[in-house]
């Protein structure tokens, strides 16, 4: 293995990894896969400019222990799950010259970690939750631009680098609040507390207040619609006193056409039309001589009427 090749992280990512490492970095693993943050952006020096190289990444288990978060810190909680040989991923740029590799940072931003054993995605690496892992970068020299992933007799390992401060614990949810705050602070794609990942967004409607989960601002609730009280039989509004003379109806009582009997034609002389005691036209008079029981007049005070017939507030 060559000692001339020097590998480090890009300055910005190097600073973030060391900051997260001081709080025991955590990485979310989920069935659909999750990218690493901070990113793995390596800077390499010391390669031969004209030789061909290929870069490979794998994530190896740091020890044989399982961990748990208790009383604000991580501690060992038993023996680790049995793990197989770690999955190795070649960089998608394939075989390139040393000059090309050294020109720009080598980024593995397509790699995702998952807790699904059955995942067939080529860019996903399976990890056990509550276990500690460390990414490892390996540099291979190739004699020709052969397709990556196909072993060649001429392919040889140049160097392999394992940076201790890139170590992390795989979790399904952040345990340390300090790590979660750092993720929110530096990762523009992190979900804010009380934001999209904490509550489902409700569909807006005309009668319900909506919650904007992206800004965590709740609109003021709209007043509820008042319910109209229904009275049967319906009361007629108070009308002005009738203008016809000799009226025996009290002028201070609201007139309800449903509580008065109609006169009979047999009580009047032929050819004489009885006076109409109502200021509005009525339907056809009764021709039957049946007697109707007298109905008392109903007096509704103004205060009660206002309580029975509240106004409708339309929002």
What pLDDT, on a 0 to 100 scale, did the predictor assign at position 296?
A: 53
pLDDT digit string (tens) for the chain, length 315 residues: 445 899 999 999 999 999 999 999 999 999 999 999 999 999 999 999 999 999 999 999 999 999 999 999 999 999 999 878 899 999 999 999 999 999 999 999 999 999 998 888 889 999 999 999 999 999 999 877 766 555 565 578 999 999 999 999 999 999 999 999 999 999 987 765 444 433 333 333 333 333 232 333 333 334 444 444 444 455 555 656 555 555 555 555 555 555 545 554 455 455 555 555 555 454 444 444 555 455 555 444 444 444 444 444 443
Can you tell me the distance from the alpha carbon of 139 to that of 55, in angstroms, rounded to the nearest whole number? 5
SS3 at position 36: coil
Rounded Cα gap, residues 142 and 89, in angstroms: 16
For the domain made up of 6-186, the CATH class stated in words is: mainly beta
Q: What is the pLDDT of residue 272?
A: 54
pLDDT score of 302:
44
Strand-pair category, 6-9 with 41-45:
antiparallel
Q: How far apart are the first and last CA of the chain?
A: 78
- What's the confidence (pLDDT) of residue 240? 61
Question: Is 20 strand, coil or helix?
Answer: helix
What one-character-per-residue DSSP string does 65-99 give? EEEEEETTEEEEEEEPPP--SPPEEE-TT-SEEHH
Given this model, what pLDDT does residue 26 score? 97
Residue ranges per structural domain of the chain: 6-186
Place of tokens 């291979």: 140
Which of 192, 160, 174 shows the shortest CA–CA distance to 5?
160
């Amino acid at each position: 293995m060559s000692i001339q090749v020097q590998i480090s992280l890009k300055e910005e990512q190097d600073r973030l990894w060391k900051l997260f490492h001081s709080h025991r970095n955590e990485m979310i693993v989920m069935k659909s896969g999750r990218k690493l943050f901070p990113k793995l952006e390596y800077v390499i020096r010391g390669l031969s400019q004209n030789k061909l190289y290929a870069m490979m990444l794998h994530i190896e288990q740091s020890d044989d222990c399982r961990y748990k978060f208790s009383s604000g810190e991580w501690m060992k909680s038993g023996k680790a799950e049995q793990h197989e040989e770690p999955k190795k991923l070649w960089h998608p740029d394939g075989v390139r010259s040393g000059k090309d590799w050294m020109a720009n940072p080598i980024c593995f931003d397509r790699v995702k970690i998952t807790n699904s054993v059955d995942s067939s995605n080529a860019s996903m690496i399976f990890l056990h939750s509550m276990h500690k892992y460390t990414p490892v970068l390996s540099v291979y020299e190739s004699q020709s631009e052969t397709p990556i992933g196909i072993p060649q007799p001429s392919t040889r390992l140049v160097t392999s680098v394992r940076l201790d401060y890139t170590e992390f614990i795989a979790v399904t949810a952040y345990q340390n609040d300090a790590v979660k705050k750092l993720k929110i602070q530096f990762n523009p794609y992190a979900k804010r507390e009380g934001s999209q990942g904490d509550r489902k967004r409700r569909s807006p409607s005309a009668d319900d207040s909506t919650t904007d989960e992206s800004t965590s601002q709740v609109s003021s609730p709209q007043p509820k619609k008042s319910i109209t009280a229904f009275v049967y039989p319906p009361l007629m509004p108070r009308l002005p006193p009738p203008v016809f003379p000799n009226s025996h109806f009290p002028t201070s009582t609201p007139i309800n056409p449903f509580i008065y009997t109609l006169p009979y034609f047999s009580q009047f002389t032929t050819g004489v039309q009885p006076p109409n005691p109502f200021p509005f036209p009525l339907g056809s008079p009764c021709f039957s001589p049946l007697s109707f029981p007298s109905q008392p007049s109903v007096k509704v005070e103004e205060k009660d009427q206002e309580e029975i017939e509240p106004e409708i507030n339309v929002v």
